[in-house]
Structure 1
Amino acid sequence: MAQALPKPALRPLLPADVPMLAAIFVAAIQELTGDDYSEPQQEAWAAVADDEVAFGKKLAGELTLIATIQNSPVGFASLRNNDHIDMLYVHPSVAGQGVGAMLCDALEKLAGARGTKSLSVDASDNALEFFRKRGYVAKQRNSVTVQGEWLANTTMQKTLGAAAGGAS
């Protein structure tokens, strides 16, 4: 008989989470983005977490939620200025199991409750379909430099409010 997976839970960021979130960030980039980004691009992107103090300050300066399974962090998402999903990363071991959707649902609800009319995200190429399925619409293609490497992403936007309700 198949065993049910433990249900993920959400909680706010704690300072002690930063090393684990940095590890999730790196693992997600290394293991989930290889079809869309070269190894040098992945290494440059993942290097953002090398300075854990700066990484922690960035997360603490935004509304950051942690997804946990049996009290262990398995993903995180952060909302900047109530209207932009800045980060959304899940550990490869739970990719495709609804953790990212749960984090995104929570940020959309929080942003909507704070009066935000639309939410934007600069989606990596591997995250485009995830956001498209959630009702985000591509607005513009971007090239950003990270640690000397060029990475492409797409700014996407979703209107919140009445149209977003009922999709829980």
Structure 2
Amino acid sequence: MGQTLPKPALRPFLAADTPILAAIFIAAIEELAADDYSEAQREAWASAADDEEQFARRLASELTLIATLQNSPVGFASLKGADRLDMLYVHPSATGQGAASVLCDALEKLAGGRGAKSLTVDASDNAEGFFLKRGYVAKQRNTVAVNGEWLANTTMQKSLASDAPKGATQ
């Protein structure tokens, strides 16, 4: 019989998580985006975590959730405002174990709870397929400058169904 993989658990971001989340961020970019972005592009992108204090401020300024497997952080995602999924990163060793889906499910519910009618994400080329499978629709192609390198991504959007009955107030 096959062994059942544990389901990822979620918890809120704590400032003490910054070093491990920075490491997850960098590893995900270096390994998972290698087929879609050049080494120089990945280095420029990953450099956002070089200044851990600034990286911590960014995580703390948004609603950031951490996915854990057996109490160890394996991924994180953040909701900026009510309707923008800002960051979604999973460590390469934990891909395919449901962490990204659990994080996305939670942020979609939280965004809906905050009154958002849709959720928007600027998806990297390597993440676009994941978001398409979740019902996100490509809206526009972008090119952004990051530390002297140009990176392409796609703005995608998903309509959020309201679970509240008609006429109900929150």
Task: Please give the range of the TM-score, normalised by the shorter of the 2 chains.
Answer: over 0.9
Residue identity (%): 72
Matched, 1:115 2:115: yes
Maintained 8 Å contact 2:7/2:97: no
Q: Distance in 1 between matches of 2:114 and 2:122?
A: 21
Q: Distance in 2 between matches of 1:162 and 1:118?
A: 10
Shift of 1:162: 4.5
Partner of 1:146: 146
**Which has the larger displacement, 91-100 or 116-125?**
91-100
Matched, 1:80 2:80: yes
Q: Distance in 2 between matches of 1:116 and 1:97?
A: 28
Partner of 1:58: 58
Shift of 1:3: 2.1
Give the gaps of 5 or more residues in structure 2.
164-170
Q: Distance in 1 between matches of 2:12 and 2:100?
A: 15
Give the letter aligned to residue 5 of structure 1: L
Deviations 1:74-129 (A, max 9, x none): 00000001100000000001112211011000000000111110100000000001
Q: Distance in 2 between matches of 1:116 and 1:161?
A: 10
| TM-score, normalised via structure 1 length | 0.94
Shift of 1:5: 1.8
Give the letter aligned to residue 98 of structure 2: G
User: How much is the aligned-residue C-alpha RMSD, in angstroms?
Assistant: 1.1
**Which has the larger displacement, 59-68 or 96-105?**
96-105
Tell me the matched-pair count.
163
3-state SS of paired residue (1:126):
coil
Partner of 1:166: none
Q: Distance in 2 between matches of 1:81 and 1:113?
A: 12
Partner of 2:19: 19
Give the letter aligned to residue 89 of structure 1: Y
| TM-score, normalised via structure 2 length | 0.93
Deviations 1:120-159 (A, max 9, x none): 0000000001001111111110000111100000000011
Give the gaps of 5 or more residues in structure 1.
164-168
